[in-house]
């Protein structure tokens, strides 16, 4: 079943309302955290800000679309699991940054329809930047259209990546890729927020992004924004991207093939595992 632009706009407005409400709550906790917890994995943090933000998002969704399914980072699966609609929510993407009072961080809300991300909103309350998109409706930052960069060669590019929570235990990390691409580009950044990374590629601040070990709530919103801004998203090898894989290669499209080729030839630094 296809959806009209008017229907997608309604969902986009709902996501925007939820993201702005949650962002205001997140900002109210800035510098006022009393307790920071780990969720079982070293470095995987949760705070009162995460929980309060998610509560606000859920309230908005339950008010507008109570029949939809939800996948939330802190609460797990909620609502109707058989619905064609699934909201993937990260109430505070970049919790470690936030806990250290270090931006960026953001609220990420994506809507999957029949398993395909089609609506996305990411709000950065620190910089007051609102990124929005829906399939066929274009992408915006603070209501102004955005497009990816025109960079065509890796040597002129600025990239971004991230490191998974299990990077200390698994040889399937991207330390070697980070080093390799640092030598081939003008630089590689690590922001600590996947949704913000995708938005920065979307508006041309960065040229490409790759990462592994991600969850659907990390990516669902950002991939819609990047796609609508003219970017390209695949698996590392250029094959069709699957959200459940936890891996992503996302670029302005123009240097996609060259970045893919470089990633595929890097041998992991296995000696870092279990060290």
Q: Which residues are annotated as a binding site for Mg(2+)?
A: 73, 90, 92-93, 218
Q: Give the 3-state secondary structure of residue 233.
A: strand
Q: List, as one string, the DSSP characters of 79-147.
A: E-TT-SEEEEEEEEETHHHHHTT-S--EEEEEEEETTEEEEEEEEETTTTEEEEEETTTEEEETTEE--
Q: What angle do CA 166, 170, 175 make, to 5 degrees?
A: 85
Cα 75 to Cα 174: distance, rounded to the nearest angstrom: 29
Cα 225 to Cα 133: distance, rounded to the nearest angstrom: 5
Q: Tokens for 77, please give them.
A: 């699966």
For 55, list phi and psi in degrees, rounded to 5. Answer: -60, -40
Residues comprising the binding site?
A: 73, 90, 92-93, 218
Angle, nearest 10°, between helix axes 256-264 and 175-184? 130
Nearest to 209, CA basis, from 224, 221, 193, 228: 193
Q: Residue 238: how many CB atoms within 10 A of its CB?
A: 16
């Amino acid at each position: 079943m296809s959806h009209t632009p008017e229907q997608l706009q309604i969902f986009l407005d709902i996501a925007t309302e939820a993201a702005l409400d949650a962002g205001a709550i997140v900002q109210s906790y800035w510098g006022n955290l009393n307790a920071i917890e780990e969720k079982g994995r070293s470095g995987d943090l949760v705070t009162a800000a995460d929980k309060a933000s998610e509560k606000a998002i859920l309230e908005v969704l339950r008010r507008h679309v109570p029949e939809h399914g939800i996948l939330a980072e802190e609460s797990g699966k909620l609502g109707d699991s058989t619905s064609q609609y699934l909201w993937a929510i990260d109430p505070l993407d970049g919790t470690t940054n936030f806990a250290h009072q270090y931006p960026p961080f953001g609220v990420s809300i994506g809507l999957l329809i029949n398993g395909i991300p089609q609506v996305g909103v990411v709000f950065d309350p620190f910089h007051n930047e609102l990124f929005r998109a829906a399939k066929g409706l274009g992408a915006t930052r603070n209501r102004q259209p955005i497009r990816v960069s025109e960079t065509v060669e890796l040597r002129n590019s600025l990239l971004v990546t991230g490191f998974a929570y299990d990077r200390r235990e698994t040889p399937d990390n991207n330390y070697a890729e980070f080093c390799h691409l640092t030598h081939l580009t003008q630089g590689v950044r690590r922001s600590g927020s996947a949704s913000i990374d995708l938005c920065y590629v979307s508006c041309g601040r960065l040229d490409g992004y790759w990462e592994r070990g991600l969850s659907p709530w990390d990516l669902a919103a950002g991939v819609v924004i990047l796609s609508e801004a003219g970017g390209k998203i695949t698996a590392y090898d250029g094959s069709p991207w699957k959200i459940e894989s936890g891996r992503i290669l996302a670029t302005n499209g123009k240097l996609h093939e060259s970045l893919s080729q470089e990633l595929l030839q890097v041998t992991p630094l296995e000696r870092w595992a279990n060290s």
